Amino acid sequence: MLDGLSVIYPYAKAFHVMAVISWMAGLFYLPRLFVYHAERGQAPEPGGSFVIMEDKLLRLIMNPAMIATWISGVCLVLTPGIVDWSMVWPWTKAAAVLGMSWFHMWCAGQRRGLLAGQGQTGRRYRMMNEVPTLLMIVIVLSVIVKF
């Protein structure tokens, strides 16, 4: 079975890149929506614009993109001869991907908090909006430079 992964490797890699781009777009945009939502200064309306936008972004784009990223990433990792686990880079990438997944779950929790009227401040969401950028830098440097 693992040898079969070598055959589909270029397709798995292309799918992985597309899934990562979709996931990252959502991870960059959702906290920005939280900023606008939090700074609006009122309880969220069940059918309000921010509530709908946050829900659809998380449920229809980010969640499927994260799952696709993980599935295709595991296929890449399991392809024989691709990852040398004696090097540092796969471990730094793995740690950053786990961090990115944690951030995704944090965003989902914050969305629930905002719906309950218990969100953070706009300033806090602005600061947290930098987390995916920092993790992306670690991931890209790990994969490209392979330190």
| pLDDT tens string 14-39 | 999 999 999 999 999 999 999 998 88
pLDDT exceeding 90 applies to what percent of the chain? 78
Per-residue pLDDT at 57: 97
Per-domain boundaries in the chain: 2-145
Q: What is the pLDDT of residues 106-140, one digit of tens each?
A: 999 999 998 888 889 999 999 999 999 999 999 99
Per-residue pLDDT at 142: 96
Q: What is the pLDDT of residues 88-107, one digit of tens each?
A: 999 999 999 999 999 999 99
86, exposed or middle or buried, with CB in 10 Å at 0-12, 13-18, 19+?
A: exposed
Cβ-proximal residues to 22 (8 Å cutoff; 6+ apart), any chain: 61, 62, 65, 68
SS3 content of the chain, % helix, strand, coil (to 5): 80, 0, 20
Give the predicted TM-score (pTM) of the model. Answer: 0.91
Q: Which of 19, 30, 5, 2 is nearest to 97 (CA)?
A: 19
CA–CA separation, 99 vs 41, rounded Å?
30
CA–CA separation, 142 vs 31, rounded Å?
25
